[in-house]
Amino acid sequence: MKTFTVTLVRHGKVNGAPALYGSTDIAVCPETNQAICHSLTKADIDYKTVVSSPLRRCLSLAELLAGERPLVCEPALKEMHFGQLDGTPFEEITSASVEWQQLEQFWHNPASSGLPDAESLESFSMRVTACWNRIVSELRHDALIVTHGGVIRAIVADVLGLDWKNPQWYSNLTIRNGSVTQIQVTLTDNLPYFAVKQIGSIY
């Protein structure tokens, strides 16, 4: 039997107007990353390996947190791709437009109301959970993952056996920028057993 903890950290607030930032590669200011790094260092979180989404809002923080530790970029940990509206500031979309109606439908039921040319919620969930299960199967020590809010929600839903299609999971669960979610993993006969220790904590 082997037990270790995986710490999931959401990237800092991005340098951009409010929007759906999925595959759009937008940055976080260095001061924000430094503040998150300082807070997590004070929290004395143990980890021997860092895994990160390759998008720079995650990778820039992961590089700080890794220091001399191994750092692995994992493309499957990228945020959901929001299609034609990915990265478009909400202030540029008029409330009477078709695009705004599409956004509202997506927010009310993301599983059945996809955005134009976007990744489906089902495809996103399958991508993330497959990656998560592979990472866990290969780990034997504490690790830290820097990723996105949607990715963290997908992982926690999978670990808890919750319905990822439930829109309340996305509207009612807050995963703030820079927050920490921790999952304890126990491997018994190479089968993982999970215990969620905290969700969306700020240090």
Domain boundaries, the chain: 2-79+120-201
Q: Has this prediction a pTM greater than 0.95?
A: yes
161: phi > 0 → left, psi -120 to 50 → alpha, else beta; which?
left
In this predicted structure, which of 152-156, 187-191, 196-200 has the lowest mean pLDDT? Answer: 187-191
The pLDDT of residue 89: 97
- Read off the pLDDT band of 190 (50, 70, 90): confident
Q: How many helices and strands in the chain, by DSSP H and E?
A: 6, 6
pLDDT over 70 for what percent of the chain?
100
| pLDDT tops 90 at residue 60 | yes
CATH number of 2-79+120-201: 3.40.50.1240
In tens, the pLDDT along 71-102 reads 999 999 999 999 999 999 999 999 999 999 99
Q: How many CB atoms lie within 10 A of CB 100?
A: 14
* The pLDDT of residue 103: 96
Percent of the chain with pLDDT over 90: 95
Neighbours of 82 (CB within 10 A): 24
